[in-house]
């Protein structure tokens, strides 16, 4: 298992939260957040207060709009959302509270340690949607997709589980395809030349995606499968 936890580069805080937002985050996060100081529950599905038949994970959920939408649409699936940006966490926590959904848990830190905490083969799908592209060459090493993180992703996916990646930055799409090619436990599922241009079924989009399309960029949607 990779030992170093160095997958987060970016901002944890922006403008100060409004008093109401800060109060809600302080009240709601302790209930929603996964405590990695404790061992994972056994059975792992007990992480959720409601019965779930599968567990999915989103890395860097932004404001959590898609996470909450999907958790409402799939109440028998447990959803784990990871985000480091405080305002995004506050927004997601408030939306989860308002919706009354009990099939969502959050992790307010770097995805690397959380991936290392998760039991092997415990997750049916991992989504990495519009990760920070770090376009400058000297920053490429900051990209979330790297050999260590792909190893982490492969370890926690169940056999046949999927890793979905979306980006509007062609260079990051190429980067991801090249890195996954070197990870034997993951294979790209594309069957036709156009597969990666089509969003996934029932795809609500993300906030970042809407902005990218509005600015004239065309997203790519890659699906990889865990072998074995
Ligand atoms: C460009 S935004 C995209 C947000 C959202 N997925 C969307 O499509 O609207 C990338 C997000 O990933 C988060 N992020 C970056 N590195 C991360 C890491 N190592 N662990 C958890 N979140 C991370 C950032 O804080 C940021 O909110």
Q: Report the residue among 107, 131, 211, 212 best suited for mutation to probe ligand 1: largest number of ligand atoms under 8 A from its CB.
A: 131
Would the pLDDT of 184 be above 60? yes
Q: Are 108 and 91 in contact (CB under 8 A)?
A: no
Angle CA(175)–CA(178)–CA(181) in degrees, nearest 5? 145
Q: Are 56 and 124 in contact (CB under 8 A)?
A: yes
pLDDT mean over 155-169: 98
Asked whether the bond before 43 is cis by omega within 30 degrees of 0, the reply is yes
Tell me what the pLDDT averaged over the chain comes to.
94
Q: 193 falls in which pLDDT band (50, 70, 90)?
A: confident
Q: Report the residue among 83, 95, 211 best suited for mutation to probe ligand 1: largest number of ligand atoms under 8 A from its CB.
A: 83
Q: What pLDDT shows up at residue 1?
A: 42
7 lines ligand 1 (CB under 6 A): yes
What's phi and psi for 225, nearest 5 deg?
Answer: -115, 140
Domain annotation for the chain: domains and CATH numbers: 22-50+59-118 (3.40.50.150), 120-228 (3.40.50.150)
State in Å: Cα 144 to ligand 1 middle.
Answer: 9
Q: 5 falls in which pLDDT band (50, 70, 90)?
A: low
Burial level of 151, CB count in 10 A (0-12/13-18/19+)? middle
pLDDT mean over 107-135: 97
State in Å: Cα 130 to ligand 1 middle.
Answer: 7
pLDDT mean over 24-45: 95
Q: What pLDDT shows up at residue 10?
A: 77
Which atom of ligand 1 lies nearest, measured to the CA of 111? 20
Q: What pLDDT shows up at residue 6?
A: 60
Active site residue 132: yes
pTM of the model: 0.95
Given the residues 97, 116, 132, 195, select the one marked as catalytic. Answer: 132
Q: b/e per residue, 32-55, with b = 16+ CB within 10 A?
A: bebeeeeeeeeebeebbeeebebb
Q: Are 180 and 188 in contact (CB under 8 A)?
A: yes
pLDDT tens for each residue of 47-101: 999 999 999 999 999 999 999 999 999 999 999 999 999 999 999 999 999 999 9
State in Å: Cα 99 to ligand 1 middle.
Answer: 23
Q: Report the residue among 57, 60, 64 best suited for mutation to probe ligand 1: largest number of ligand atoms under 8 A from its CB.
A: 60
The Cα 219–Cα 210 span in angstroms is: 10
């Amino acid at each position: 298992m990779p030992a170093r936890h160095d997958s987060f580069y970016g901002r944890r805080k922006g403008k100060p939260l409004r008093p109401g937002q800060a109060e809600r985050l302080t009240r709601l996060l302790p209930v929603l957040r996964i405590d990695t100081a404790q061992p994972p529950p056994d059975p792992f599905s007990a992480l959720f207060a409601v019965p779930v038949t599968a567990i999915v994970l989103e890395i860097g959920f932004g404001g959590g709009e898609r996470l909450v939408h999907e958790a409402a649409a799939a109440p028998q699936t447990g959803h784990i959302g990871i985000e480091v940006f405080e305002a995004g966490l506050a927004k997601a926590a408030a939306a989860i509270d308002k919706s009354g959904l009990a099939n969502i848990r959050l992790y307010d830190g770097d995805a690397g340690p959380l991936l290392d905490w998760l039991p092997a083969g415990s997750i049916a799908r991992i989504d990495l949607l519009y990760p920070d592209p770090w376009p400058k060459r000297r920053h490429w090493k900051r990209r979330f997709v790297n050999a260590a993180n792909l190893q982490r992703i492969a370890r926690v996916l169940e056999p046949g589980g999927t890793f979905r990646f979306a980006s509007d930055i062609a260079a990051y799409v190429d980067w991801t395809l090249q890195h996954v090619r070197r990870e034997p436990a993951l294979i790209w599922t594309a069957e036709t030349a156009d597969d990666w241009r089509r969003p996934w079924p029932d795809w609500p989009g993300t906030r970042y995606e809407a902005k990218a399309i509005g600015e004239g960029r065309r997203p790519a949607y890659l699906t990889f499968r865990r072998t074995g």
